Structure 1
Amino acid sequence: MQRPKPNFDVSDCLNDGLTQRRHDLELLRIVALCILIFYHTGMLYVSGWDFHFKSDYQSETLANWMLLVNPWRMSLLWFISGVALRHALHKYGSWISLRQRCVRLLLPLLFGVLVVVPPQLYVEMAGKAQLPSGLTYLEFYRAFWQWNHPLFADYSSGILPHMDVNHLWYLRELWKFSLLLIVLHFAWNKLSSMFPAAVSAIETRMGLAVDGARLSALLILALVALDVAHLDDRNMTGLLFLLAGYFLASAAAFWQHIFQARRQYLIGAAVLYVLLLCMYNLVWLVPTRKEQAWVDPSAAIIYRLYAGCCIMAALGYARSFGERFQAFSQRWSEAVLPIYILHQSLIVVAAYVLKPYAFGAVLEPMLVIVLTVAGSYVAYLVIARFNVLRVCFGLKWTVVSAEAGEQAGLGWRIRQGLAYLVLVPLAIKLVL
């Protein structure tokens, strides 16, 4: 008996479907987070790749496995964030979406920089022998709160003196780019209300001008062009995919195309991955070959084409499995942001604690992953139970009943006002 093929309803991606829950993208966010945990664990062990802390058990061969996900892991998250922002703007409008983004991105960013990131800095400095002998973490943390403390003279400032964002740069840039998109969305809606016929004609013409395959190709070619032009830093690439997610969220032709062509994209990704490995091992790692003029653009084209095919395949297959794992994605989608904030600190601290025991090149990374996953799970269970922790990790404040919600209304508004008051200086710092 054959398994029934997954169905694809184009109407799910039309404007009227922007308020529908995207189980496929929720599932993909969870998978992307799992990939990120394995990737950042791999950063401890891959030889020649800089990281906050390195294990004694390093391997050059591991780079081949890291290249499997390195080209596309963050771009996929940016794309999903763009789709989510479009859904939020469609559902809540510009002003409410802006308020939500400020609280649910800036507050976790500030909390993360002040509480979650410092253990990484302690481990990094301890690993580089930059801490006085016997300095405890509590003593380090007290020094951490002193502006311009000489202990951190070699560390440049991030959003605060010697307080860098580390892996939370994504939250920082996501807030800044979201602010830009919300302003553009507001301006476009104003134009639509002032000149409805002209705007409608433009939107209709744009919708008829391109099909799904062209939209996909245009996005991949834009990614390649950024790299070839040496404009492919993580912020520019992130902005590209955030914009792409926003504009393609309701493009039914695009979603239908990647669903139907998901197998072709996967095959293309497999072929390009082999080419990428050949380029990396046979050319990139050989200094005399790497210096040749054709190497850099060729490597950029292969690298980015591979990334584009992986992202399209991931989106297409997520469309296939989204409904099957609907209950799973609904259960765990809320945990993604808190675990994202925590995971790298858990990885680095676990590796630091395990290093003196010399467990070996196989057992140590397995233990790091187990400790990270277990720590993330326990931490999320605790975070989910307490509203103060929930908002610090970007989750919604919960009430047990409608009556409790009414009683908490004034208190909630006061807490929200205080949160905005705390976040205004940070917002100004990030914008300027």
Structure 2
Amino acid sequence: MKTERRHDIDWLRVIAIALLLMYHIAIIFQPWAMFIAFIRSDEMSTALWQPMTMLNVWRIPILFYVSGMGVYFAMRKRSSLALIKERARRILVPFLFGFLAITPLHMFVFQDYYNMGLSYYPHMGHLWFLGNIFVYVLICLPVFYAVKNNKASRLIAVFNKLIKNPIGLLSVNILFIAEVVWLQPKPFSMYAETLHGFMLGLFAFLLGFLFMNSGKVFWKTIAKWKWGYLFLAVVLYIIRFKMFATEGLPYITVIEMNSWIFSIFGFCYRYLNKPSRLLSYLSTAAYPVYIIHMIVMYLAAKFILPFHFPAFLSFVLITLVTFAGCYLIYEFIIRRVFWLRPLFGLKLKPTKLKMNSKEDIMINLD
């Protein structure tokens, strides 16, 4: 079976994770950082947080969309049981390992920084995302294989007809509006370990699969109307920022969220769907880097913050050290120690970087 290589989705996942790291670093400079167990700088900056208020409504949902798209590729040649086994290897094993061995490490740094007694505290932390994804696979599996085996062809035909139209595509917001009206999340961007985050992620995950299943239908729509979605997102963001001090009406926020996401998909599809050896490397590295970035970030903060540099300079330094540290750990430890690779979602043996490899698609998107 011939599978189209989607370099734009690879890039999107890499960029989204890079932005997520910068978002987490910006939290260090906010007065409420300690309330969510982040090391807090004495030099704070609301200016650093202003762009993050735009980012925080779509930074996690877009990864759920991409994860749903990845499952579409992963199940092309797999039975239900084979897919569950593959997802367990790729997601459940790193989640459990991270729960027991990774998240306690950055809590040790937090406890040490604030002169607390060191205690072993296994918890999901930032890895809650992986737990959600594995559960979504189990929940959505019957739907996915019904779609794959053409058992819901009439409903899929209606869905594909709907998303051909730019206004019709926006109608998927009905799912998200129903969720926020039901749960009334405050704040909207509190996704981690909440029912709001679980339901929003489930809808995005399911739609990501259905968008990929639609073939060119979804991609033609967003490619043609990317500027319109961007305009709508910017207008709604300005209204939210100016009128509601960043935390707007949730049923309007979901429209802004998906407008950002659709415009980003459109621009990536138009400009980033190109092969690159660098992309092949970064796409494989993105998952392990996501798993380890918190411990590296906390260590960077522990050693840089005591110098009391201005907030922006400290932000830049912590960002550089975090990215460099994650690269070094990935390249010289995780990537090269064969028994560590499965614990970070990688195969036992590294795959050669081939720009046109079908197997690369499976690795990079799932």
Give the alignment's TM-score, normalised by structure 1: 0.72
Aligned residues: percent identity?
Answer: 26
Deviation at 1:113? Answer: 2.0
Matched, 1:79 2:79: no
Per the alignment, do residues 221 and 335 of structure 1 end up closer, same or farther by CA in structure 2, a change over 3 Å counting? same
- The number of aligned residues is 338
Deviation at 1:109? Answer: 1.2
**Aligned twin of 2:135:** 176
Deviation at 1:218? Answer: 2.0
- Distance (Å, rounded) in 2 between the aligned partners of 1:255 and 1:90: 19
Alignment of 1:131-146 (within 5 A): 131=117, 140=118, 144=120
Deviation at 1:324? Answer: 3.5
Matched, 1:373 2:323: yes
User: Which sections of structure 2, spanning at least 5 residues, go unmatched?
Assistant: 186-195, 353-366
**Aligned twin of 2:309:** 359
Of 208, 215, 218 in structure 1, the residue corresponding to residue 171 of structure 2 is 218
- Distance (Å, rounded) in 2 between the aligned partners of 1:377 and 1:88: 26
CA contact (8 A) 2:335 2:350 kept: no
Letter in 2 for 1:255: W
**Aligned twin of 1:416:** none
CA contact (8 A) 1:43 1:51 kept: no
- Distance (Å, rounded) in 2 between the aligned partners of 1:349 and 1:101: 31
1:261 alignment partner, SS class: helix
- Distance (Å, rounded) in 1 between the aligned partners of 2:290 and 2:351: 26
Alignment of 1:148-163 (within 5 A): 162-163=121-122
**Aligned twin of 1:62:** 48
**Aligned twin of 1:390:** 341
- Distance (Å, rounded) in 2 between the aligned partners of 1:105 and 1:179: 12
User: Which sections of structure 1, spanning at least 5 residues, go unmatched?
Assistant: 1-15, 132-139, 145-161, 285-297, 402-432
- Distance (Å, rounded) in 2 between the aligned partners of 1:56 and 1:67: 21
Deviation at 1:115? Answer: 2.3
Letter in 2 for 1:254: F
- Distance (Å, rounded) in 1 between the aligned partners of 2:158 and 2:259: 27
Larger radius of gyration: 1
- Distance (Å, rounded) in 2 between the aligned partners of 1:91 and 1:279: 50
| 1:275-304 Cα shifts (integer Å, max 9, x gaps) | 1211233x96xxxxxxxxxxxxx6223422
2:28 alignment partner, SS class: coil
Matched, 1:341 2:304: no
Of 260, 268, 287 in structure 2, the residue corresponding to residue 318 of structure 1 is 268
- Distance (Å, rounded) in 2 between the aligned partners of 1:316 and 1:219: 17
- Distance (Å, rounded) in 2 between the aligned partners of 1:221 and 1:201: 20
**Aligned twin of 1:245:** 208
Letter in 1 for 2:135: K
Per the alignment, do residues 123 and 215 of structure 1 end up closer, same or farther by CA in structure 2, a change over 3 Å counting? farther
**Aligned twin of 1:51:** 36
Deviation at 1:214? Answer: 4.7
- Distance (Å, rounded) in 2 between the aligned partners of 1:63 and 1:302: 21
**Aligned twin of 2:190:** none
Letter in 1 for 2:79: G
- Distance (Å, rounded) in 1 between the aligned partners of 2:350 and 2:233: 46
**Aligned twin of 2:226:** 262
CA contact (8 A) 2:87 2:134 kept: yes
Matched, 1:32 2:23: no
| 1:228-258 Cα shifts (integer Å, max 9, x gaps) | 3326511111111001101111223221111
CA contact (8 A) 1:275 1:302 kept: no
